[in-house]
């Protein structure tokens, strides 16, 4: 049932986006690389990265990657396609060719469609591959399927319906998308269905030993009627080592291949040269070498790069609160993937416990709960820079249905204060701060929450059970924004 569900999901993806968080994260976590860097990567590493031929701006690549990542989250196909086309147009179209402006935009739109289909479909296929691996004991065969329209290439159409064991070496080079623009897919087949296909009682085709040998040795498929079709993968069609190294290669099973396993495939000289280069080459904000060994890139939200909180600028006033603030930011960094920067934090001797305005936070030096105050103001920043126009209906519903908010609405606070405390930005900021406080393993944060609940500012926090549904909704919102 799970496999059939994924099959249907991927078929629908070809005409409209289907929400799928794992697929979105697959795209968003690809490090961007300009073409020169991309081409020097080893094939097993290149398939994990993101590039666009002709685009030499890392910022543009990041923006395009992030926009495409919104597709599996349910983003509008046409809107994302237009945004991607606009983003790449300065690199693809000739601005001096006024007469060819329309032609250039059509070219950019076609390019954008290819990028959406390729990276979006690749993400779905990577997710499906993991599911197929989990059920391989019950479904030990895989069947190749095309979309079945007039755009399917001859080499792909020839494979339609082909059934081979899931562990057959054929899938190493031909697991979709095994070439640019490939829209094919793999469907799991049980042993019982495989026998029905062999008897001609179900759709599909199996190969004789001679046909299988021809396929693996020469890359040709005998259609049974005396016609032979070349179905070689791009890397198999290349005749030079340089061509093979640069050829498109894709297999989801190698996306998580450990570095040491990749190293074992190369001779000492080749690997040594790659290691030397990788240590000196950056992908976003870390070296390629460090990224391969688990160092995360600075994750990007839909609206821009996410900066680690531990790197946020804190104005050093030489006071104990400076150390407290830096420590709190480091602790918050362990919960989320950063904030949309830039952000700066300073201190004040008077006024409200905390204030936020356009990327700048002020925290009062003598405030009674400095960590929660800081978390609250960071929440305002996250809301303003990343989530102001996002769909937060699930989170707001959970907040409005909580007992704490109901008590606040019936309290004797002034109408003005109630209106401010019940505004969308304020509710989000309070929930963000408590989400941090509950997930950070620190007694100091827990004491801040307790002190707030026992003060005349009790309405700023929720009880633990009252906050459970809010916490879950907050987690979902931050994941969708690429901040978790």
Structure tokens at 408: 């606040």
Chain centroid to Cα 247, Å, comes to 24
The reply to whether 24 and 112 lie within a common domain is yes
The reply to whether 276 and 325 lie within a common domain is no
* Predicted local distance difference test score (pLDDT) of residue 217: 92
Question: What are the tens digits of pLDDT across the range 397-428?
Answer: 999 999 999 999 999 989 998 998 999 999 99
Q: Greater confidence, 20 or 167?
A: 167
Q: Which residues does residue 362 pair with via DSSP β-bridges, in sequence order? A: 346, 355
Tokens 């976590």 -> residue: 29
Closest of 308, 280, 313 to residue 296, by C-alpha: 308
Looking at the predicted structure, is the pLDDT value of residue 167 above 90? yes
246 within a domain of the structure (yes/no): no
Measure the CA–CA gap between 276 and 262, rounded to whole angstroms. Answer: 16
Structure tokens at 446: 């827990």
- H or E stretch including 257? none
277 within a domain of the structure (yes/no): yes
Model confidence at 299, in pLDDT bands (50, 70, 90)? very low
* Predicted local distance difference test score (pLDDT) of residue 430: 95
Question: What are the tens digits of pLDDT across the range 27-56?
Answer: 888 888 888 888 889 888 888 899 998 888
409 within a domain of the structure (yes/no): yes
The reply to whether 206 and 276 lie within a common domain is no
Measure the CA–CA gap between 463 and 461, rounded to whole angstroms. Answer: 7
Tokens 């008590």 -> residue: 407
Looking at the predicted structure, is the pLDDT value of residue 6 above 50? no
**Long-range contacts of the stretch 256-260 (C-beta < 8 A, 24+):** 257/44, 259/292, 259/293
Task: Report helix angle 58-69 to 101-134, nearest 10.
Answer: 60
Question: What are the tens digits of pLDDT across the range 364-374?
Answer: 888 899 999 99
Residue 3 near residue 139 (C-beta atoms within 8 A): yes
Structure tokens at 100: 């060819």
* Predicted local distance difference test score (pLDDT) of residue 4: 43
Give the range of the structural domain holding residue 392, as residue numbers without chain letter: 300-480
* Predicted local distance difference test score (pLDDT) of residue 302: 38
Looking at the predicted structure, is the pLDDT value of residue 19 above 70? no
Q: What percent of the chain has pLDDT over 70?
A: 89
Tell me what the mean pLDDT of segment 84-102 comes to. Answer: 73
Tokens 């303003």 -> residue: 384
244 within a domain of the structure (yes/no): no
328 within a domain of the structure (yes/no): yes
* Predicted local distance difference test score (pLDDT) of residue 70: 85
The reply to whether 197 and 106 lie within a common domain is yes
The reply to whether 271 and 323 lie within a common domain is no
* Predicted local distance difference test score (pLDDT) of residue 9: 42
Residue 28 near residue 482 (C-beta atoms within 8 A): yes
* Predicted local distance difference test score (pLDDT) of residue 374: 94
Residue 125 near residue 177 (C-beta atoms within 8 A): yes
* Predicted local distance difference test score (pLDDT) of residue 341: 65
Residue 81 near residue 70 (C-beta atoms within 8 A): no
Closest of 458, 453, 466 to residue 400, by C-alpha: 466
The reply to whether 188 and 287 lie within a common domain is no
* Predicted local distance difference test score (pLDDT) of residue 247: 86
Tokens 């839909």 -> residue: 302
Tokens 């109630």 -> residue: 418
Cβ-based neighbour number of residue 392 at 10 Å: 22
Residue 359 near residue 381 (C-beta atoms within 8 A): yes
Given 296, 321, 346, the domain boundary residue is 296
Residue 72 near residue 120 (C-beta atoms within 8 A): yes
The reply to whether 291 and 316 lie within a common domain is no
The reply to whether 267 and 316 lie within a common domain is no
Q: Which residues does residue 164 pair with via DSSP β-bridges, in sequence order? A: 142
Question: What are the tens digits of pLDDT across the range 227-273?
Answer: 899 999 998 998 888 888 888 888 888 887 788 888 998 889 999 99
Tokens 């362990």 -> residue: 334
Total count of domains within the chain: 3
Environment class of residue 415 by beta-carbon count within 10 Å: exposed (0-12), middle (13-18) or buried (19+)? Answer: exposed
The reply to whether 194 and 80 lie within a common domain is yes
The reply to whether 324 and 267 lie within a common domain is no
Looking at the predicted structure, is the pLDDT value of residue 1 above 70? no
The reply to whether 194 and 286 lie within a common domain is no
* Predicted local distance difference test score (pLDDT) of residue 435: 96
Model confidence at 8, in pLDDT bands (50, 70, 90)? very low
The reply to whether 312 and 179 lie within a common domain is no
């Amino acid at each position: 049932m799970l496999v059939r569900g994924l099959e249907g999901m991927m078929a629908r993806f070809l005409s409209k986006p289907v929400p799928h968080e794992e697929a979105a994260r697959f795209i968003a976590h690809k490090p961007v690389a300009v073409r020169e860097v991309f081409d020097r990567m080893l094939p097993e590493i290149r398939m994990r990265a993101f590039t666009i031929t002709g685009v030499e701006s890392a910022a543009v690549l990041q923006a395009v990657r992030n926009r495409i990542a919104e597709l599996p989250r349910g983003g509008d196909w046409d809107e994302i396609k237009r945004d991607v086309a606009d983003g790449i147009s300065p690199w693809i179209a000739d601005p001096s060719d006024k007469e060819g402006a329309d032609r250039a935009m059509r070219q950019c739109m076609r390019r954008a469609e290819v990028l959406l289909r390729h990276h979006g479909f690749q993400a779905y296929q990577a997710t499906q591959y993991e599911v197929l691996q989990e059920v391989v004991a019950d479904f030990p065969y895989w069947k190749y399927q095309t979309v079945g329209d007039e755009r399917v290439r001859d080499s792909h159409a020839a494979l339609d319906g082909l059934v081979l064991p899931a562990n057959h070496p054929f899938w190493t080079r031909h697991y979709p998308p095994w070439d640019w623009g490939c829209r094919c897919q793999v469907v799991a087949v049980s042993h019982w269905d495989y026998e029905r296909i062999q008897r001609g009682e179900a759709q599909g085709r199996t190969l004789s030993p001679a046909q299988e040998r021809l396929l693996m040795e020469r890359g040709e498929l005998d259609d049974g009627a005396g016609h032979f079709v070349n179905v070689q993968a791009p890397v198999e069609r290349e005749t030079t080592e340089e061509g093979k190294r640069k050829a498109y290669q894709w297999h989801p099973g190698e996306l998580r291949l450990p570095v040491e396993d990749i190293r074992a495939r190369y001779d000492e000289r080749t690997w040594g040269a790659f290691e030397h280069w990788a240590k000196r080459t950056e992908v976003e904000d870390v070296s390629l070498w460090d990224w391969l060994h688990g160092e995360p890139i600075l994750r990007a939200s839909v609206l821009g790069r996410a900066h680690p909180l531990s790197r946020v600028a804190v104005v050093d006033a030489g006071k104990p609160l400076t150390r407290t603030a830096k420590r709190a930011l480091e602790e918050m960094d362990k919960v989320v993937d950063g904030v949309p920067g830039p952000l700066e934090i300073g201190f004040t001797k008077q006024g409200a416990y905390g204030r936020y305005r356009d990327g700048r936070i002020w925290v009062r030096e003598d405030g009674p709960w400095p960590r929660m105050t800081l978390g609250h103001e960071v929440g305002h920043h996250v809301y303003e820079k990343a989530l102001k126009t996002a769909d937060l209906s699930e989170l707001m519903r959970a907040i409005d249905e909580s007992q704490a908010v109901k008590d606040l609405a019936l309290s004797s606070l002034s109408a003005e204060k109630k209106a401010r405390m019940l505004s969308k930005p304020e509710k989000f900021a309070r929930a963000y701060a408590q989400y941090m406080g509950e997930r950070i393993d620190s007694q100091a944060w827990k004491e801040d929450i307790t002190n707030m609940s026992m003060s005349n500012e009790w309405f700023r926090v929720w009880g633990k059970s009252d906050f459970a549904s809010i916490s879950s909704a907050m987690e979902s919102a931050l994941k969708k924004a690429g901040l978790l």
